[in-house]
Amino acid sequence: MPTPHNAAEHGDIAKVVLMPGDPLRAQFIAETYLEGAVQFNQVRNVFGYTGTYEGRRVSVMASGMGVPSMAIYSYELFHFYDVDTIIRIGTAGGLAPQVKVRDMVIAQATCTNSNFAAQFDLAGTIAPIADFDLLREAVDAAEERGFRYHVGNIFTTDVFYSDLERYRPWVSMGVLATEMEAVGLYLNAMAAGKRALAIATISDLPLSGESLSAKDRQTSFTQMMEVALSVAVREYDKSCE
């Protein structure tokens, strides 16, 4: 059934969903990679599409910006639309010195300054982590294609405009990059018993000021898209075994 945020009917959305933050990146992926793509959502201009990639049914839907937006859409996909797997394909700011603009970061886990986990009433501090099989499949796909990538910890922040010096302690702890959605996705997946992975392309380096344009962020991060689609294919094939 449709929700206040999603016009899709049950069955309109595939078991594996790719989730960029930007609705126009979702549209770009659908138009560039998916055959027979049909739009299932445009409520609040959060575009969602289902089509096929290499003969496998795949959906792509925007998450919007920030943990609350990602949390709403991923929760509904997991709980109301029987989605099993969500792969975030977003942008991030590179923090570690070895991380360069246009590199991919595959998030093994995410630190955060968000209070999102408080709702689960846990007697301690949870470590939001990716599904290992998805992580391994993404690494394999990147390796096969010769793409430059990093695997490790990222930082999900609720604050976009802040004192950049606040990032330096995270760098000293080996955190690779900062973004604004992954912790909501990982915790929702863990709570639902579902599977999630966040892959990000480095769009800027906050500590040096280097940055790509909005247009580049929308349409040029095709390596990340291809890795995510390869993972979606592997997931589809495993479900049919």
pLDDT in tens, 29-84: 999 999 999 999 999 999 999 999 999 999 999 999 999 999 999 999 999 999 99
Q: Per-residue pLDDT tens for 87-120?
A: 999 999 999 999 999 999 999 999 999 999 999 9
Instruction: Name the active-site residue from 12, 103, 131, 204.
Output: 204
CB 47 within 8 A of CB 27: yes
Number of H helices, E strands in the chain: 7, 10
Instruction: Name the domain count of the chain.
Output: 1
User: Is residue 46, in this structure, part of any structural domain at all?
Assistant: yes
- What is the domain-level CATH number for residue 82? 3.40.50.1580
CB 131 within 8 A of CB 154: no
Supply the range of the domain harboring residue 78.
16-239
Q: Does residue 204 carry a catalytic annotation?
A: yes
User: Is residue 6, in this structure, part of any structural domain at all?
Assistant: no
CB 161 within 8 A of CB 138: no
User: Is residue 7, in this structure, part of any structural domain at all?
Assistant: no
Bridge partners for 149 per DSSP: 104
CB 43 within 8 A of CB 7: yes
Residue type, 11: G
Q: What is the mean pLDDT of residues 135-164?
A: 97
pTM of the predicted model, to two decimals? 0.96
Cα–Cα–Cα angle for 187, 189, 192, rounded to 5 degrees: 110
